[in-house]
Structure 1
């Protein structure tokens, strides 16, 4: 949630946990996702309400539904940056830094219904909405002409009311109740200021010393709906909660020592019960974390497979989902990241093999779905995906859990090697989806060779040996393959070895070796199948005594 506040009346806590699980015939489309935002060359912010997500991007605002599917855009905007939205999702406000305006947008029609000029306040960039009060951070980087102003949206032509001045660039701002919390990004250390806006002009309550509190590299901030607590996201300090009256640190969400990356964005759920955070990952993609606002306990940690870097401050909450922006800047690609069901209690899945694994033979795996309240999940659909060593994937026939959440998966892995099985449950209104992966080391299927034929032969006369490949169990032989034959003969002149032409194998595993012994002696035909990804190596030999000259 970039430089704004989730505001409005505090919503009553949902009772989703009491809803229970609802069995379905097939898994629904859920799970975390990342979607390419087509046609943009930069992204800044997101807001979400009323079942939609709004994204500010260079010259437009892109609109997506709650599934992350893009449904439209608002064009003709001069560099929209910070966004704010009413709790019902009916109105969206955009800071237009390119035209020094605030645009008010009808979210249903995507039409701009009002433009508020800020001609005397350059480059408005960051917004925070509290009822009819819009707080705006404005300014040009390096010029120290930035500040914070307030707009009363209930009147047709709002007059800017100055709150803070002489700030570096456009400060981040969060306002609620009688409090405005603001700090400067791009300057280190950054020392947040707290203003009492119940008076005009606003009264500075005080400044939180950035050096004393290690407040370097400001990424985001927000404020509780009553304005009594503000939360800052600094790369060096993490996610800190400040009492806006005493200006003291109340707590931190997460441990800097255990954090998977540096703080990047923060958002509150509309009811104030959850604190959602996003972090820059340590080389493997960004993370999202959710905390219980009251206890500080972590309820979720989810990593996005690398698609780019987190865009600072771009985190929003919609229903039980989180949305943020990713920037794959080397390729100028930008993505919307959705964390499905992030605010729900998390279910767990287990899956493990219970038999040894051999290619083409039945493999049995058992698993269990468990939900955090300990109740029986009932019959729930589980999707199983198999990934072969070469990366080929296939979805196996679905399975359904027993009442206690247990399930059994059977498969005949087609090849040997490390075969990965992934089980996914798509969640319910009460519990977040879950998945688990187990890797099974699959052995090649055993094979054997038998070669029959005469034990004696004559020089320069055709010799014919017949062979058969067999496989263990009720398993077909390879549909195609070659038999390698190496011939060695020994006589009074010594031993000589030679490769014979490869021998094709028929569909039933039979083959024929033909040879014309060149001289007399004791012959050994070494016969082998070199195996493949499915079938194991096999070897046999056949001795033949050849009569004739040179014996």
Structure 2
């Protein structure tokens, strides 16, 4: 066997094989049959230690003084004793049986276990006396300790002990040969020889026994977490029942943590004898164990790769539920009524008072309103006159008590606010590229907030919306900000509202032309024809026309060419050419080879057709060309 190093990792158990809790050490010990190991965790479920090599681990128990941890190893047929603080192996006790040892308890100064007797196949009880000295000829292991001639149960029955009744064992199982009969026994093991206190082996049929617990402070046993039976005069008598379950663990203070029936993934906590649970947890649990101080329950619940430890806190506190119902809408400065209800499985104390808080634009940190007392049926109501508009939140809260969890709940109402005037100029205007344009917003009447934000959102996904200015308007209600018009831009004026006036946003869309020019080269002179200046070319020279335009990814410019004839200009060519990343495009015209020909050309950006829509359509100036000899 090897003890593993401590590591801060959440434990996953493949096949649970016993769970016990040490209050003194603050540890939970869990057996894992898949890995033949014991894992020690803290109360949060984080691994602190482990030991492996326990062949066929089946169950765990702590000694009465908490110093020794015992484990049954049905594979190697032994009881293993380990130091609870270090998980070092202290002793191993071989058990001469074909099946077992199985279930395990420590009480009366000894360790008690169940097993299947190799001679008749019936279940029986054995013990280990840690004080026995094998060197002196005293065998620490004793078999056939069940004080009855014919146990009448196949396999190893379940056993349980309780610190409130040291030296007492509860034993239970089902007769595998006659499934309508069940074994139940209470055995006093405080003396040298076990003595039978109560016995039952088929006088009346019970449910299939899959769990048995001694009830603290009462001469009772709990079977399958459901049926309570008193034992007196050597017999068992029904003493009531909890709702159907499939097993339980009982706290030292008597609280019963019950696993729900098959298919019901809950853990219910009952006060002794109470049919209505104090509280119910949602947990697909396989096994339960109480902390020795009854402060919490440790549950092994199903996880994605096995079982994990989940801590169920405040088991003695009934879960309080609370509702708040405020009107969906209301008028500012008008009275409204808020109602609600508080409840719990354990009734709330008479006179319970809820703390009420209102949160709004005037009191963002919350303002305490007069406390309200629950009516006998758990309902409550109060009135309020909200001074501020907007979203108003009403919160009701109760701090809880020793028997109830704290609780709070909220609801919201939308309280009306007046509308204010807000305008923004320049909508629809078009400007030359790079023009600095001042946009002015005007704000009407408000309550306290006189701040307006002006935002610019240029066309194109490569430039984000930008806050240009956020300030209080002047005495005339105006605020201005300047936009550098390099692209079509949506300008927004934003008033965020106040306690009496609701928010408002207005927009203006202004448009920006591109910067565009065309350079003509390879001509031999410039001269006027009439009042128009022309670039003069020899008839066999190819003109080079270079367009410069504001660049944008994927942008093209349109090349328009017209011919002069019959006293009029006639369109000849209109074609798109891509811009280089430097914003330039050079187009060569083929020389006409004739004289007296007059042409003109221009470059244009056409919104949409030029490959994007971030600017407004812009036409460059015409360039006039004349071909001579």
Tell me whether the two structures share a fold, i.e. TM-score over 0.5: yes
Partner of residue 193, structure 1 = 183
CA displacement 1:109-129 (0-9 Å, x = unmatched):
432222221132423221233
Partner of residue 125, structure 1 = 102
In the TM superposition, residue 98 of structure 1 has moved relative to its aligned partner by 2.3
Partner of residue 144, structure 2 = 161
Alignment of 1:84-483 (within 5 A): 84-139=61-116, 145=121, 147-153=123-129, 155-156=131-132, 157-163=140-146, 167-174=153-160, 180-184=170-174, 191-195=181-185, 197=187, 205-208=199-202, 212-213=205-206, 215-216=207-208, 218-224=209-215, 228-233=219-224, 239-244=226-231, 245-253=234-242, 255-256=243-244, 263-271=245-253, 273-279=254-260, 285-291=265-271, 293=272, 295-296=273-274, 298=276, 300-304=278-282, 309-312=284-287, 314-329=288-303, 331-343=304-316, 431=402, 434-441=405-412, 450-453=422-425, 466-467=440-441
Q: Is the 8 A contact 1:230 1:242 kept in 2?
A: yes
In the TM superposition, residue 332 of structure 1 has moved relative to its aligned partner by 1.3
Partner of residue 333, structure 2 = none
For residues 67 and 460 of structure 1, do their structure 2 counterparts lie closer, same or farther at Cα, with a shift above 3 Å needed?
Answer: closer
Q: Is the 8 A contact 2:64 2:107 kept in 1?
A: no
In the TM superposition, residue 57 of structure 1 has moved relative to its aligned partner by 1.9
CA displacement 1:431-482 (0-9 Å, x = unmatched):
3673424243476998967224379989999998644689976679898977
Q: Is the 8 A contact 1:128 1:173 kept in 2?
A: yes
The correspondence for 2:15, drawn from 15, 18, 42, is 42
Partner of residue 626, structure 2 = none
In the TM superposition, residue 341 of structure 1 has moved relative to its aligned partner by 3.6
Distance 2:218 2:37 in 1: 31
Q: Is the partner of 1:120 in helix, strand or coil?
A: coil
Distance 1:404 1:459 in 2: 64
For residues 174 and 453 of structure 1, do their structure 2 counterparts lie closer, same or farther at Cα, with a shift above 3 Å needed?
Answer: closer
Distance 2:270 2:277 in 1: 6
Q: Which of the pair has the greater relative contact order for Cα pairs under 8 Å at 6+ separation?
A: 1
- State the Cα RMSD in Å: 6.0
In the TM superposition, residue 101 of structure 1 has moved relative to its aligned partner by 1.1
Q: Show structure 2 runs of 5+ residues with no match.
A: 1-7, 133-139, 331-337, 375-389, 472-479, 511-629
CA displacement 1:276-297 (0-9 Å, x = unmatched):
32336967x5323131x2x536
Q: Is the 8 A contact 2:457 2:466 kept in 1?
A: yes
Q: Is the 8 A contact 2:426 2:508 kept in 1?
A: no
For residues 230 and 355 of structure 1, do their structure 2 counterparts lie closer, same or farther at Cα, with a shift above 3 Å needed?
Answer: same
In the TM superposition, residue 241 of structure 1 has moved relative to its aligned partner by 0.6
For residues 326 and 205 of structure 1, do their structure 2 counterparts lie closer, same or farther at Cα, with a shift above 3 Å needed?
Answer: closer
For residues 179 and 110 of structure 1, do their structure 2 counterparts lie closer, same or farther at Cα, with a shift above 3 Å needed?
Answer: closer
Q: Is the partner of 1:99 in helix, strand or coil?
A: coil
Distance 2:123 2:407 in 1: 49
Q: Is the partner of 2:468 in helix, strand or coil?
A: coil
Distance 1:478 1:42 in 2: 65
The alignment covers a number of residue pairs equal to 427
Q: Is the 8 A contact 2:9 2:47 kept in 1?
A: no
Which structure has the bigger radius of gyration?
A: 2
In the TM superposition, residue 174 of structure 1 has moved relative to its aligned partner by 3.2
Q: Is the 8 A contact 1:267 1:277 kept in 2?
A: yes
Q: Is the 8 A contact 2:125 2:144 kept in 1?
A: yes
For residues 110 and 459 of structure 1, do their structure 2 counterparts lie closer, same or farther at Cα, with a shift above 3 Å needed?
Answer: closer
In the TM superposition, residue 231 of structure 1 has moved relative to its aligned partner by 0.6
Q: Show structure 1 runs of 5+ residues with no match.
A: 1-34, 257-262, 359-364, 387-395, 407-415, 486-500, 516-524, 545-551
Partner of residue 547, structure 1 = none
Task: Indicate yes or no: 2:32 matched with 1:57.
Answer: yes
CA displacement 1:48-76 (0-9 Å, x = unmatched):
23433221123222223455554322333
In the TM superposition, residue 240 of structure 1 has moved relative to its aligned partner by 0.8
